[in-house]
Amino acid sequence: MEGLAQALVTGILIGGLYVAISVGFSLAFGVLDVVDLAVGMWVVLGAYAGVKAHDWFGVDPFIFLPVTFVVFGLFGWLLGPLIYRVRTSRYALPALMGLAFTFGVATLIRGGMLTVFGYTPRTVQTDIVSGSWSLFGIVMPAIRVVGFLFAVIAVAAFLFFLYFTRTGLAVRAVAQNKESAGLMGVDVKRISSLVYAIYTGLTAMAGMLMGAVYSMTPELGLRYTLFAFFVVVLAGLGSVLGVLVAGLFLGILQALTTTYVGADYTLMTVFVVLFVILLVLPQGVSKFAKAVRT
Amino acid sequence: MSTIEAHDLAAGYGRVQILHDVSLRAAAGEVTCVFGPNGCGKSTLLKAMVGAIRPWSGTVTLDGEDITSLASHETLRRGVALMPQNGGIFPELTVIENLRMGGYILKSRKDLNERIEELLDEFPRLRERRGVNAGSLSGGEQMMVAIARALLLRPQFLLFDEPSAGLSPKLVGDVLKRAAALAERGVGVVMIEQNIREAMQVADRMYVLAAGRNRFEGTPADISDDRELMHLYLGIGKREEGTT
């Protein structure tokens, strides 16, 4: 019983970070109509930014978080228009080209990181939070609690932007009907860049915290891409509330698997569960299918 | 009197040309109707006129000023708005949010709120449904949202792409009456319509396109005289020929 409670708490704490990684990914898909296969690479890059902030500048990575957001946001701001351009091209299969493009970006980042940083797993070192708390016999490492709190704040800020600002309204409008939003005077290309920038910045920040919890290698990007897929497909693409639920669910599922089966079986369990859920609720993939067709 | 004119517009998608030198002239305070079979370029014409797509050649002028190269948000600022086919509402935004999007280019929030209040007075049904997602409204209500949203910027010219598509006959009548009322208030209404008989009642000027070219231009009275056109392109009058 205690093992179960521990697994649930651990799962929810890590699930918060999965939510933070997936909300931006989900919105970027809604606005750009491209599944960004590089999502996991932004996570790993964010983690390495934390590692290197410590190695090179002696800066505590957590102080570096806002800088991470700005730097990776800038990356996204530059990359977003390229994806938009590929996706809105008039010629053959723009959806497939968009996928190929982001896959290429992911491959480039992965190769570049392996060359520069090597295969050795690294963990983000921080002196700000350490130790762990214990409550009713349940152990909560401080770093995971901080990661969860960060995720709550970041996601709340993101939702505030989306639901309570004029630009956020325009973002939601673009995600629903690009042509119509354009007719209302929205600069769809600019909004796409903005969304992509917020998404990369947010994901890299979450990645830095993830890197403080689990050790990272450039090879792990694919794993986080798959996780983000899991969350977003399960949520039903474009559903923010769904992402909150699915992200926490993924965390819990992972913790339960680790506790009762073994950490090596995480990916397998996750995808068996996704497979079964999609068999029962196929509408989760409907928008995916539409995007690939057109 | 204020006018918007298209001169010899050619336009298309990719390499496929849809419009071949089409011209149209619409005046403020009038209802101008555009008819023609599906795929003849009516929607493309309206999109090219507001800058939603860039024409290959030809010009669009507003009161004589060339606006051909302006993007749609710029033509919007000059008082030319397009309501796209099926209204183009945002299904998962509420009615109010949809209206807010209609005023996206307005700088002043206060101004926007006042205009929304005005429109809710004019469309009381929308006031009742203000917090509901637009996608869950009935077809007629959705069209009301689209029309109200298009009116928010108080455009001088309002281009409707089939405002009555999919509506019941009674609602078609309502939409056309509203178009006529708008024209009386001084708005220049340009309207693509499939309900030809009904539209002829409110139209001041009519255009018929066929295969991306101008086929006819004139008043409703003129077009009634052209039996061949009525029959061939508009599918009207074969049976009535014998009786009248």
Whether A153 contacts A19, CB under 8 Å: no
Domains in chain A: how many in total? 1
The whole-number average pLDDT for the span A240-255 is: 88
Residue with tokens 């993924």: A250
Nearest to A176 among B82, B93, B105 (CB): B93
Name residue B189's beta-bridge partners. Answer: B31, B158
Give the confidence band of A165 by pLDDT, cuts at 50, 70, 90.
very high
Give the confidence band of B235 by pLDDT, cuts at 50, 70, 90.
low
Domain locations along chain B: 31-38+80-243
| pLDDT tops 70 at residue A135 | yes
The whole-number average pLDDT for the span A40-60 is: 87
Name residue B31's beta-bridge partners. Answer: B189
Own/partner pairs, B147-151, CB within 8 angstroms, 24+ separation:
B147/B83, B147/B87, B147/B175, B147/B178, B148/B99, B148/B102, B148/B119, B148/B122, B148/B123, B149/A184, B149/B83, B149/B89, B149/B98, B149/B99, B149/B101, B149/B102, B150/B81, B150/B82, B150/B83, B150/B102, B151/B102, B151/B119, B151/B182
Q: How far apart are the first and last CA of chain A?
A: 50
| pLDDT tops 60 at residue B244 | no
Q: Which residues of A touch B99 (CB under 8 A)?
A: none
Q: Nearest CA to CA, how far is A159 from chain B (Å)?
A: 15
Q: Which residues of A touch B88 (CB under 8 A)?
A: 177, 179-180, 183
Q: Nearest CA to CA, how far is B216 from chain A (Å)?
A: 29
Q: Nearest CA to CA, how far is B218 from chain A (Å)?
A: 29
Give the confidence band of B59 by pLDDT, cuts at 50, 70, 90.
very high
Look at B90 and A182 and tell me if their CB atoms are within 8 Å.
Answer: no
The whole-number average pLDDT for the span B202-216 is: 87
Which fold would CATH assign to domain B31-38+80-243?
A: Rossmann fold (3.40.50)
Amino acid at B134: A
Q: Which two tokens stand for residue B33?
A: 């109707």
Look at A184 and B101 and tell me if their CB atoms are within 8 Å.
Answer: yes
Q: Which two tokens stand for residue B134?
A: 């637009």
Residue with tokens 């996780």: A227
What is the percent of chain B with per-residue pLDDT over 90, rounded to a whole number?
A: 41
CA A142, CA A178: separation in Å to the nearest integer?
Answer: 43
| pLDDT tops 60 at residue B224 | yes
| pLDDT reported for residue B200 | 85
Largest Cα–Cα distance in chain B? 61
Look at A187 and B73 and tell me if their CB atoms are within 8 Å.
Answer: yes
Q: Which residues of B touch A176 (CB under 8 A)?
A: 90-93
CA B6, CA B80: separation in Å to the nearest integer?
Answer: 13
| pLDDT tops 60 at residue A154 | yes
> Of A178-182, B73-77, B164-168, which range is least confident?
B164-168
CB pairs under 8 A between A and B: 64
| pLDDT tops 70 at residue A151 | yes
| pLDDT reported for residue B13 | 84
| pLDDT tops 70 at residue B239 | no
CA angle (A172 as vertex; B85, A39 as ends), nearest 5: 120
| pLDDT reported for residue A237 | 65
| pLDDT reported for residue A140 | 80
User: pLDDT of B139-149, one tens digit each?
Assistant: 888 988 999 99
Q: Which residues of A touch B76 (CB under 8 A)?
A: 183-185
User: Within a domain: residue A227?
Assistant: no
| pLDDT tops 70 at residue A292 | no
Q: Nearest CA to CA, how far is B176 from chain A (Å)?
A: 22
| pLDDT reported for residue A283 | 63
| pLDDT reported for residue A238 | 66
| pLDDT tops 80 at residue B228 | no
User: pLDDT of B99-138, one tens digit each?
Assistant: 999 999 888 889 999 999 999 998 889 999 989 999 899 8
Question: What is residue A35's three-state secondary structure?
Answer: coil
What element of type H or E holds A134?
A: strand A132-135
User: Within a domain: residue A294?
Assistant: no
User: pLDDT of B70-91, one tens digit each?
Assistant: 888 889 989 999 998 888 899 9
User: pLDDT of A81-98, one tens digit each?
Assistant: 888 888 877 777 878 888
| pLDDT tops 70 at residue A287 | no
Q: What is the pLDDT of chain A when averaged over all its residues?
A: 85
User: Within a domain: residue A198?
Assistant: yes
Nearest to A184 among B13, B14, B104 (CB): B104
| pLDDT reported for residue A108 | 92
Give the confidence band of A286 by pLDDT, cuts at 50, 70, 90.
very low
| pLDDT reported for residue A293 | 42
The whole-number average pLDDT for the span A263-272 is: 86
8-state DSSP, B134: G
User: Within a domain: residue A252?
Assistant: no
Residue A168 sits in which domain range? 13-219
The whole-number average pLDDT for the span A149-159 is: 91
| pLDDT reported for residue B97 | 94
User: Within a domain: residue A283?
Assistant: no
